[in-house]
Structure 1
Amino acid sequence: MPLDLNSQFALHARALSVASQRMKLLADNLANADTPHYKARDIDFQAAMQTAGDGQLALQTDRPGHIPAGGNPNRAEVLYRVPEQPSMDGNTVDAQKETSAIAETAVRYQATLTFLNARIRGLRLAITGGR
């Protein structure tokens, strides 16, 4: 039975992509914490990964000339965060929430990289026989 490396790594590659996207949004939010009327944005990491796991990223095509339908599978849906207490100037950034979300995203990203490195080391060991 052949090993399908794409299926082995696709979900983790998606997790890295979504985490990277989320980190950029969170950094943008923090950078605009004092910008009037700025609306904080975020990505629902769980929903993005659920979509990836369900195979709902894009439709399959059976011929090279077919145009794939659906959005970019490497882009997660960006949402505006509902503020608990918006500021007087209309800004919805909560610096504490942003900082907490950045830390959480960094941990997820590092955990995914650690897992992928372990898988790659295991494959390398299997291929080379430990030489």
Structure 2
Amino acid sequence: MSIDFHKALGVHQDTLRLRAERTKVLASNIANESTPGYQARDIDFGAVLQSVQADDGAAGLAFESGDADLQYRVPYHPSRDGNTVELGMEQAAFSQNASEFQASLTFVNMKLKGLAKAIVGQ
């Protein structure tokens, strides 16, 4: 009998993949803070996770094949050069995303430890 890790880990494996992709998008925003005309982007985490869960994760993350789920940010204080990155906002989003990634990683770790104990028979 084999273990179906998608069922065993539940939403957490999809959450980790999505958080990792969001980290890349937010890091790109921060890196392009001084680039004239750069448009800050972000992922609607809830909507993308919901669509992945509805597809049972079989299709993978929708934005891996394109930018369909990336959304432009509307700046509070637009700059004259057309750049919409607001560093403080991006840093806060990056930090929150990193904390939530760590929480999901902790859940996955607990699930895997539980599976290991069940296999050993403890």
Q: Which runs of 5+ in 2 are unaligned?
A: 64-68
After alignment, is 8-17 or 49-58 more displaced?
A: 49-58
Number of matched pairs: 116
Whichever structure has more helix as a proportion of its residues is: 2
Pair 1:103 & 2:90 matched: no
Residue matched to 1:118 = 110
- Letter matched to residue 113 of structure 1: L
1:40-71 superposed Cα distances (whole Å, 9 cap, x missing partner): 0111111111212333766xxxxxxxxxxxxx
Residue matched to 1:92 = 84
Pair 1:83 & 2:65 matched: no
Pair member with larger Rg: 1
Contact 1:42 1:78 in 2 (8 A): yes
How far apart are the structure 1 equivalents of 2:38 and 2:10? 34
How far apart are the structure 1 equivalents of 2:12 and 2:72? 25
For residue 86 of structure 1, report the CA deviation from its aligned partner: 1.2
Residue matched to 1:20 = 20
Residue matched to 2:121 = 129
Residue matched to 1:63 = none
Q: Which runs of 5+ in 1 are unaligned?
A: 59-71
Residue matched to 2:51 = 51
Of all paired residues, the percent bearing the same amino acid is: 41
Contact 2:48 2:61 in 1 (8 A): no
Normalised by the length of structure 2, the TM-score is 0.84
How far apart are the structure 2 equivalents of 1:74 and 1:10? 15
